[in-house]
Amino acid sequence: MVNLTPSQVGFRTNARAHRREQVIIRPTVEARVSGLSMQGRSGRPVLGLALSGGGARGLAHIGVLAALEQAGITIDALAGTSMGAILGAAYAAGRTPAELRAVSAQLGKFGRLIGLADLGIPRSGLIKGTTVERFLRELFSPHRSFETLAIPLVVAAVDLRRAEEVGLDSGDLLRAVQASMAVPGIFPPVEWEGRLLVDGGILNNLPVDLARAQGARVVLAVDVGLDPRNEDTWRSTRLPRLGMHVWRAASVMMARNTASKLAQAPPDLMIRPALPARVTSVAGFRRAEELIQAGERAAQEVLPRLRQLLQTDTGQG
Query: Within a 13 Å sphere around the CA of 155, how many CA atoms are in the beta-carbon half?
Result: 32
3-state secondary structure of 1: coil
Cβ contact 61:233 at 8 Å: no
* Residues assigned a catalytic role: 82, 199
Q: What per-residue confidence (pLDDT) applies to 313?
A: 41
pLDDT digit string, tens, across residues 84-140: 999 999 999 999 999 999 998 877 654 344 445 444 545 554 565 577 888 899 999
Tens digits of per-residue pLDDT, 216-239? 999 999 999 877 666 566 566 665
The rounded percent of the chain whose pLDDT value lies above 70 is 70
- Give the tens place of pLDDT for each residue, 290-303: 999 999 999 999 99
Residue that wins the pLDDT comparison between 122 and 16: 122
Average pLDDT of span 10-15: 36
Q: How far is residue 230's CA from residue 49's CA, in Å, rounded to a whole number?
A: 27
Measured distance CA(172)–CA(291) in Å, rounded? 30
Q: What is the pTM of this model?
A: 0.81
Q: What is the pLDDT of residue 240?
A: 58
- pLDDT of 312 above 60: no
To the nearest whole number, what is the mean pLDDT of the chain? 80
pLDDT confidence bin for 281, thresholds 50/70/90: low
The rounded distance, in Å, linking the Cα atoms of 64 and 49 is 10
Q: What is the pLDDT of residue 256?
A: 87
Helix residue ranges per DSSP H, the chain: 29-35, 60-70, 83-92, 97-107, 110-114, 130-140, 173-180, 208-213, 231-235, 241-264, 288-310
